[in-house]
Each structure stands twice: as C-alpha cells, then as structure tokens.
Amino acid sequence: MIEVFDLHKGFNGEEILKGITTNFERGKTNLIIGTSGSGKTVFLKCMLGLFKPEKGRICYDGEAYSEMEEEEQRSLREKMGMVFQGSALFDSMTVEENVMFPIRMFTRQGKEEMLEKANEAISRVNLENANKKLPSEISGGMQKRVAIARAIVTRPKYLFCDEPNSGLDPKTAMIIDNLIKEITEDYNITTVINTHDMNSVMEIGEKIVFLKNGYLEWEGDKTQIFKTDNEAVTEFVYSSNLFKKVREAQLKGL
Ligand SMILES: Nc1ncnc2c1ncn2[C@@H]1O[C@H](COP(=O)(O)OP(=O)(O)OP(=O)(O)O)[C@@H](O)[C@H]1O
C-alpha cells in the first residue's frame, strides 16, 4: 500500500501539488485522472522518488520514504516498476534485451538467470514469439507489452504507469488495461496509473483519484464516478460526445 499525507510540491515558487492526502491499495489498479496540467505527472514522479516534495509524506507499506537512509531508498526504488508514456524502448535492442535491461542494471545475475527471468516476463505478457525482434518490427500494442514485461521483470512491489494507452486503438488499449489489471492481481502489486482515458476508468478503475489544480478534488471507484454530482468530475467524465449522449439518454430515462 502507498499512503500519501499532505503532499506539497512546487517549482520556482509556484505550488503545483497543494496538499494531497490519499492511499493506493495493494492488488488494485489505482488511477490518477484530471485535467491537463492538474499535477498528475508531478504526483507520479514524487511517488517514484524523482521529485522531492517540500512538505508531506509518502509511505510505502508503512515506511516513509523521507525517513529512510539512502541505502533503503535505493532498495525501495528497485522495487518500483515503471511503464513510460510511449513505451520508451531501446530501438537497437531486441525485445529480450529490452526486458533484460533492468536486471542487468540493478542486479548481478548470470546470463542464464537473466534470460530465464526475461522469458518469464515475456511469456506473462503473451509475447513468446517476439524475443528476437526489434521494437520497430512489432506493433504499438506489442511494444506496450514489452514495456510492461520490462517493468515487471524485477518483480516490483509497486508499478507506475504513465498514460499506458496513449497512441493505441480502443480495443488494444482495453487489452493492455486488462493485462495490467491481471498482473496487478496475480503479483499482488500496488499499481498506480496516470490516465486521461475514460475507457480505462470504466474498465479498471478500482480506485480513482481526481486532481484539479493540484488539489485532490474527488476520489472513489468506477461506479461512484458516474453517480457523483461533483461538477469538475462530471465535466471531465462527460467531456466526450459519446458520454454526453449516454448521460442525456440517462437523464431522459431512455
Ligand atoms: N520539472 C518541472 N519544472 C517546472 N514546472 C514543472 C515541472 N514539471 C511539471 N511542471 C509544471 O507542473 C504543472 C503540472 O504538470 P503535470 O505534468 O503534472 O500535469 P499533468 O496533470 O500530468 O498534465 P497532462 O495531463 O497534460 O500530462 C504544469 O504547470 C507544469 O508546467
């Protein structure tokens, strides 16, 4: 579980996160949503330890990051997996080499052992036949699978995904969402996903945190989000034409 208490983060005197308190449970897909510029990425980067908050605490399974020794912080970071926006694969490396990269970077294991772990992760994302291919030789959806395999190859306790669906067609996006959800449950990971995608909210939103201008405006789950009368949330949810029409039909009792 990740617990966040009164988190503040700013840049050059401008406060971006203005006191966020929430928690993300283990084994669940937790989503951070909100309008552009509301601070979602800054929040994610604070949890990853890439930004140092000015105030507040982030606890990982009860341990506050800011109170850990440097060595403990380093070992915690090794328990974090990250799926970057746009996959961020190394173009000149094969699928297998991309997936093996974090084990090579962070551990001292023999080639055989690294290969075994890489292949286990590759098979978990159902990409068995693509080991020797380069990223340019596979589809966008397959590239996302490689990015997920790379993020889980070290068996992280915490998984962070920044817009894992960007650039994918709706069907592939849904498959990727469900893959992340399955892995979260199977490996009992605390997963936090930054997204704009209402389809993801409906499909895998077990906990949703809605940010507005650096504040936590609302939190709940995928059924509650369609029932809330919070204006900022409904504006966000019904910003697409499709959802607007569904809403109108609901209100008319159709
Ligand atoms: N390293 C940085 N230095 C200065 N300002 C930053 C930095 N990172 C983010 N910001 C500012 O913080 C604010 C929130 O940015 P953030 O990227 O978290 O928004 P977001 O909610 O993720 O938006 P989007 O959905 O468009 O990605 C923006 O005004 C941005 O310019």
103 shares its domain with 206: no
Cα(128) to ligand 1 centroid in Å equals 37
Mutation probe of ligand 1 site: the residue of 7, 14, 16 with most atoms within 8 A of C-beta: 16
Q: Is the C-beta atom of 41 inside 6 A of ligand 1?
A: yes
Within this chain, do residues 20 and 145 fall inside the same structural domain, yes or no?
no
Query: 8, 9, 11, 48: which to mutate for ligand 1, most atoms within 8 A of CB?
Result: 11
Compute, in angstroms, the gap from residue 232 CA to the centroid of ligand 1. Answer: 19
pLDDT at 55: 94
Ligand 1: nearest atom to the Cα of 39? 18
Question: Quick check: CB of 39 below 6 Å from ligand 1?
Answer: yes
Q: Point out the domain boundary residue: 155, 184, 210.
A: 155
Dist CA 106 CA 122 (whole Å): 19
111 lies in a domain? yes
* Prediction pTM value: 0.91
Same domain, 33 and 144: no
**The predicted structure's pLDDT at residue 85:** 83
Residues 34/236, Cβ–Cβ less than 8 Å: yes
DSSP states along 31-77: EEEESTTSSHHHHHHHHTTSS--SEEEEEETTEEGGGS-HHHHHHHH
pLDDT for res 254:
63
**Final residue of a domain: which of 155, 182, 197?**
155
Q: Is residue 36 part of a domain?
A: yes
- Whether residue 205 contacts residue 29, with contact meaning beta carbons closer than 8 Å, is answered with yes
Return phi, psi of residue 148, to 5°. Answer: -70, -45
Dump the DSSP string for 182-250.
HHHHHTT-EEEEE---HHHHHHH-SEEEEEETTEEEEEE-TTGGGT---HHHHHHHTTSHHHHHHHHHH
- Closest atom of ligand 1 to CA, residue 196: 25
pLDDT tens-digit map of 116-155? 999 999 998 988 889 999 999 999 999 999 999 999 999 9
Q: Are residues 175 and 242 in the same domain?
A: yes
Low-confidence ranges of the chain (pLDDT < 70): 240-241, 243-244, 247, 254
Same domain (yes/no): 172, 235: yes
Does residue 126 form part of some domain? yes
Same domain? For 25 and 131 the reply is no
My answer on whether 21 and 111 are in the same domain is: no
Is the Cβ–Cβ distance between 220 and 194 less than 8 Å? no
CA–centroid distance, residue 191 to ligand 1 (Å): 21
pLDDT of residue 67: 87
Tell me, using a 6 A CB cutoff, whether residue 38 lines ligand 1: yes
Q: What is the predicted pLDDT for the residue at 26? A: 96
- Whether 16 is in the pocket of ligand 1, judged by its Cβ within 6 Å, is yes
Assign residue 57 the CATH number of its domain.
3.40.50.300
Say whether both 203 and 164 belong to one domain.
yes
ipTM over 0.85: yes
Residue 236 located in a structural domain:
yes
**164 and 102 part of one domain:** no
Q: What per-residue string of b and e applies to 196-209 under the rule 16 or more CB within 10 Å gives b?
A: bbbbbbbebbbbbb
- Report the share of the chain in percent with pLDDT over 70: 96
Same domain, 118 and 222: no
**146 with 220, same domain?**
no
Which atom of ligand 1 lies closest to the CA of 163?
27
What's the domain count of the chain?
A: 2
Tens of pLDDT, residue by residue over 148-166, are: 999 999 999 999 999 998 8
Sequence-ordered list of residues with C-beta below 8 angstroms from that of 116, at least 6 positions apart, any chain: none
Q: Residue 144: CB within 6 Å of ligand 1?
A: no
Q: What residues pair up with 175 in beta bridges, in sequence order? A: none
Last residue of some domain: 130, 155, 180? 155
Answer whether residue 148 is part of any domain. yes
Residue 227 lies in a domain: yes
Q: At which residue do the structure tokens 């190859």 appear?
A: 153
Residue located nearest, by CA, to atom 5 of ligand 1: 11
Domain coverage including residue 205:
2-79+158-251
Question: Do both 70 and 167 map to the same domain?
Answer: yes
Ligand 1 binding pocket mutation candidate from 40, 44, 50 (most atoms within 8 A of CB): 40
What is the predicted pLDDT for the residue at 207?
97
* Domain membership flag for residue 48: yes
How does 116-132 read in b/e, with b if 16+ C-beta sit within 10 Å? ebbbebbebbebeebbe
